[in-house]
A = this chain, B = another copy of it.
Amino acid sequence: MPRELVYFSPTLSPRDYRRKVSDIFSQELSRQGLRMTSQRRRILDELMNAERHLSEKEIYRSLASSGIGRTTVFRTLKVLRECRLVEQVSGTDRPRFELRWERPHHDHLVCISCGHIREVRWPKLEAIQERTCRKIGFVPKWHRHEIFGLCAACSR
């Protein structure tokens, strides 16, 4: 069973933040009898250094030159999802992968013109959701909330 989702304090420095996420990955792996490898480390780094949410293809293209195979990217993303460190979200086109340990949960505004993804936090929405789910006996595990449209720049 995966550990509980815990958020970092925003006071963590970028360096410490990366170290911490890396440590959690190692711990999760050994807890499951799995091993930390250079490939897994690199794929996680790639996700941590990215500005946007990456697709499998983008990760592969960045790392292929260092000899990492496509299969490994797929398999590592699967492991990261099982560790609840990464979440799969649906972009305009292909699935994309997002680190869950970065910031509190947020939803996405996806621009259908330029592809830009903006993150929004909606605590009020989350509260309403939780209440409704409780009322009808649905036990929510995670959710995906994406609004597609035109960003401010593209709508002019």
Chain A residues packing against B (C-beta within 8 Å): 90, 109, 111-112, 118, 120, 122, 124-125, 128-129, 132-133, 136-152, 155
Contact = CB atoms under 8 A, between A and B. Distances in A.
7 contacts: A90-B90, A137-B155, A140-B149, A141-B148, A143-B147, A144-B145, A145-B146
A148 B140 contact: yes
The number of times this chain is found in the oligomer is 2
Nearest to A140: B149
Contacts of A142: 147-149
Nearest to A152: B137
Contacts of A118: 136, 138
B109 A133 contact: yes
Given A90-B90, A125-B128, A128-B124, A144 B144 contact: yes
B133 A90 contact: no
Given A137-B151, A138-B147, A139-B149, 7 more contacts: A90-B144, A109-B140, A112-B141, A125-B129, A139-B155, A143-B146, A144-B144
